[in-house]
A and B are shown apart, each in its own frame.
Chain A
Amino acid sequence: MEITCREALNQAIREEMERDPAVFLLGEDVGLYEGSFKVTRGLLAKFGEKRVVDTPISEAGIVGMACGAAMTGLRPIAELMTVNFAIVAMDQIMNSVAVARYMFGGQCSVPLVIRAPGGAGHQLGAQHSHTLDALFMHCPGLRVVIPSVPADAKGLLKSAIRSDDPVMFLEHEGLYAIKGEVPDSEYTIPLGVADVKRQGKDVTLLAVSRMVYVCLEAAEQLAKDGIEAEVVDLRALNPLDMSTVLASVRKTHRAVTVEESWLTGGWGGELVARIVEAAFDDLDAPVLRVGGEDVPMPYNKALEKAAIPSAADVVARVREML
């Protein structure tokens, strides 16, 4: 069946809430308003106010409350209206959610999913265009899961909800309306398994979220010149599936990381280091990076476009190494 990412996420939440009475949803406008991006449409009507909880605009309160509920037996899905507001809740995420199990000697679990849409491209300026994937990847204790297509969104979210680890589930505002095939029957996708979205033999493109589509577009353009790019959708930065990455690099001998967020201190650099450490002898060229320009996101449409990686940027980078 072909559905949107938005519908796929909604199905995942609905199915998991039906399966497990400990799962509940909280966040700003998730209930009566049915979600800022309408991901939670129909859930209040189906599950009632006990399990679909509208909150005040209090991101630290939302995440902290979800953490406390998770530590005492519930499985909260906390929706942050956008990932930009996760910064307000960063103390709770890094000082409570991520560390509780370890800091207390394994005496508690925090089976919590924090869903947060992010990404640039809608002229929202410097405060509403963040992509914070690398920030969360930096913090031990958090799983970081980032879907690109509807089937992954559904299968990964179901696994995230069932996980006993806290999961940052990072969605992209620009992908909610994207359609794709989703299996009709019940399924999950394990966290930490990358997916090859396009096979190729000349260069590996590594991406998550919307940049997977940018890489697929770049691969189309490169194919016209006889260059076959392999597009690996990491699907999670933690756990990070290095075996799939390295298998691809050993096949193509070249790699480019493509991330939407700022290039400096991004996850691309981490991937480059890991590839070089593990497969230096397999490389025919230095591993290169594509990423967002290191600037606060500008409002102006043309400037914003210039700040976000495009297929042309990826193509140019690949040509440098061939």
Chain B
Amino acid sequence: MKGKKERALLEPRELLAMYRDMVRIREFEEACPKLYSQGKIGGFLHLYSGQEAVGVGVAHAMHHEDYMIAAYREHGLILAKGTPPDGVMAELFGKATGVSKGKGGSMHMFDAERRFMGGYGIVGGHLPLAVGIGFAIRYRESDEVVVCLFGDGATNQGVFHEAMNMAALYQVPVVFVCENNGYGIGTSVARASAVEQLYKKSCAYETPGVKVDGMDVLAVYETVCQAVQRAREGGGPTYVEAITYRFRGHSISDPGTYRSEQEKKIWQERDPIPNFADRLIAEGHASREQLDQIDAEEKALIEKAIRFAEESPEPAAEELWTDVYA
């Protein structure tokens, strides 16, 4: 993995891969509400639509061996890290073939092979785990990096500050990525955080804080590449605030009354996928037909994932008691 380009100009192939990954996530997420209303998906369901540029930009800035750890809006993130949609959809269905054997659900996806270290449901709770993963990397004298994603709400939790302090204190290779989608459930950042510019919160720990347009996949990619490189070279943690927006509610049961139609419309116009498509075409990296074909392929891939999930077996009864202990 050494020698891989961290910041060089992207080849058209990689640009198209980014586009494909964003489309995959959108197709996946937009298929979910119907499956939920049909009773095929249970529990909480936090969709990632609108935030794709963050997850995909981050994932493309990482090596396969690098670790990713996330909160509970993580379908898009595990897909971005490379996990095939089949196991992710099967997990939503609670099936034995799900990434967490049907025992985790929407909020608790995990893929050891691809080093996706889990989705966690307690706001901010996984931040210290990221510090520990980074600590272990340094302990092993390895050159991997861990990227930890969380929402704006997490920055108001006590453990956010403990993790920021300890990451800086021990100079662990962690990149913190705050996906600021403007709301902690129904409470806006302005009403929850005394500091509205969330990237400033890392200055208390002498950790660089960077703000980036989370609707622009290349901007996220460039910013996170630099942070990852810095971490990999022993420069310690970086804190990135990506400004983004979720197109759907906090969860599937959110009526969304706290956001104005006008606000939603403004952000819809900044949709990261069509804007990136226009850019790819304008800059001559792809034709409309090529992108349409990617769209069709990804749509088919998600349809296949749904079939896979539908046809997969339920967990065996004895799964109730497996994995509690070693």
Contacts and interface: CB of A to CB of B under 8 A. Distances in A.
Given A102-B323, A165-B326, A61 B159 contact: yes
A96 B324 contact: no
A101 interface: yes
Contacts of A76: 132
Contacts of A85: none
Given A105-B110, A108-B110, A108-B112, A141 B139 contact: no
B128 A91 contact: no
Contacts of B324: 101-102, 140-141
A104 B140 CA distance: 24
A136 B104 CA distance: 22
A73 interface: yes
Interface string A112-137: 00000000000000000000000000
A104 B159 contact: no
A65 B131 contact: yes
A91 B117 CA distance: 18
Contact of B125 (A53, A74, A91, A101): A91
Interface stretch (B95-103, B180-188, B232-240, B242-250): B95-103
Interface string B164-208: 011001100000000000000000000000000000000000000
Given A69-B135, A96-B125, A141-B324, A64 B163 contact: yes
Interface in B124-180: 125-137, 139-140, 158-159, 162-163, 165-166, 169-170
B326 A92 contact: no
A55 B133 CA distance: 16
A66 interface: yes
Given A96-B125, A106-B101, A68 B133 contact: yes
Contacts of B122: 91, 95
A100 interface: yes
B135 A68 contact: yes
Contacts of A53: 170
A67 interface: yes
Contact of B128 (A60, A70, A103, A164): A60
Contacts of A107: 100, 110-112
Interface string A75-90: 0100000000000000
Nearest to B108: A103
B112 A64 contact: no
A72 B104 CA distance: 19
B221 interface: no
Interface in B275-325: 322-325
A65 B135 contact: yes
B135 A95 contact: no
Q: Which of A61, A92, A140 has the most CB of B within 10 A?
A: A61
B159 A101 contact: no
B128 A92 contact: yes
A199 interface: no
B19 interface: no
Contacts of A109: 326
Nearest to A73: B136
A163 B324 CA distance: 14
B67 interface: yes
A73 B165 CA distance: 23
Contacts of B125: 64, 91-92, 95-96
B100 A71 contact: no
Interface string A23-58: 010000000000000000000000000100101101
A71 B129 CA distance: 9
Interface in B15-62: none
Nearest to A142: B325
Given A104-B104, A105-B323, A66 B132 contact: yes
B100 A58 contact: no
Nearest to A26: B135
Contact of B165 (A58, A66, A164): A58
Contacts of B165: 56, 58, 61
Contact of A61 (B108, B120, B166): B166
B128 A64 contact: yes
11 contacts: A61-B163, A63-B128, A64-B127, A67-B128, A68-B136, A71-B129, A74-B135, A91-B159, A103-B100, A104-B100, A107-B112
Q: What are the 5 A-B residue pairs with the smallest beta carbon separation, nearest first?
A: A68-B132, A64-B128, A105-B101, A61-B162, A164-B326
